Amino acid sequence: MGKTFRLEGVDELNRVFKKLPKKLRQSAVLNATRAGARVIRDEAKRLAPKDTGALRKGIKVITPKKAARTSERLVTVGVKGDAAFRAHFTEFGTGGGVIGSGPRKGQVIPPQSAQPFLRPAVTNKGREAIRIIAESLGDQVGVQAAKLIASEGANKKR
């Protein structure tokens, strides 16, 4: 089931946005997207089970240098560090089972109930994140346009 969001003023923002050089556009989008991702990150941290605190501490906004096989940048919210390996068990739960080999062979592992934190974070704060991205993008276009004007002014003085 998809979600639909209505943003106003997008046409005007898009016209100004297209006038910016590619590097400044990318910077504006990346900064705005990170701002929206922080909303999701904060909600995921709030919803994550406390236990040792490693899971909450490991929830991060992640921005790889470049998405694979493309020039696009990617911003995600995920788990890094010590808790990364076990995060999906917490989010989705486990079916339990019996260890098949090694020193603990035959040991019964009880099922673990799901304790979702990332999916509900998106459900709870998705609209707010989109709103923040849109607002921040408008702000970022202004910031990047000011940088462009300043750099053009500096170039004229040379």
Q: What is the pLDDT of residues 19-57, one digit of tens each?
A: 777 777 777 788 888 999 999 999 999 999 988 889 999
The range of the structural domain enclosing residue 71 comes to 19-152
Tell me if 120 is assigned to some domain.
Answer: yes
For residue 38, what are its two tokens?
A: 């922080």
**Would you report the helix, strand and coil content of the chain in percent, each value rounded to 5?**
60, 10, 35
Tell me if 157 is assigned to some domain.
Answer: no
Which of 72, 66, 62 has its CA nearest to residue 25? 72
pTM: 0.72
Tell me if 65 is assigned to some domain.
Answer: yes
| CA 146/CA 143 separation, integer angstroms | 5
| CA 47/CA 39 separation, integer angstroms | 13
- C-beta neighbour count of 65 within 10 angstroms: 6
For 77-111, what is each residue's pLDDT tens digit? 999 998 898 899 999 999 888 988 989 899 998 99
Tell me if 122 is assigned to some domain.
Answer: yes
3-state SS assignment for residue 78: strand
| CA 42/CA 130 separation, integer angstroms | 15
DSSP state for residue 101 in the 8-state scheme = S
Number of domains the chain contains: 1
Tell me if 11 is assigned to some domain.
Answer: no
Cβ proximity of 17 and 25 under 8 Å: yes
Tell me if 143 is assigned to some domain.
Answer: yes
Tell me if 28 is assigned to some domain.
Answer: yes
Provide the pLDDT for residue 1: 43
